[in-house]
Amino acid sequence: MFEKFYPDFFFRSIDDIDEEFFLVNGIKFAILDIDNTLVSYKTTVADKRAKAFLNMLTKNGIKFAFVSNNHKDRVSLFAKEFNAIFVNDAGKPFTFGIKRAMKKIGADKKHTVLIGDQVFTDVYAGKNAGIITVMVNPIEAKETPFFGLKRRMEKIVLKNYKR
CATH number of the domain within which 138 lies: 3.40.50.1000
* Residue 112 scores a pLDDT above 90: yes
Higher pLDDT, 49 or 42: 49
* Residue 1 scores a pLDDT above 60: no
- What pLDDT is recorded for position 163? 47
- What pLDDT is recorded for position 47? 96
* Residue 140 scores a pLDDT above 70: yes
Query: What are the C-alpha distances in Å from 7 to residues 55, 57, 150?
Result: 24, 20, 16
- Considering the chain, what is the average pLDDT of its residues? 90
- Banded model confidence at residue 26, pLDDT cuts 50, 70, 90: very high
Lowest-confidence segment of 13-27, 44-58, 61-75, 139-153 by average pLDDT: 139-153
Q: Which residue range(s) make up the domain with 121?
A: 3-162
CA angle (48, 54, 58) in 5-degree steps:
135
Phi, psi of 64 (to 5 degrees): -135, 160
- Banded model confidence at residue 77, pLDDT cuts 50, 70, 90: very high
Higher pLDDT, 156 or 57: 57
Give the chain's domain count: 1
Tell me which residue of 47, 46, 57, 48 sits closest to 17, measured CA to CA: 57
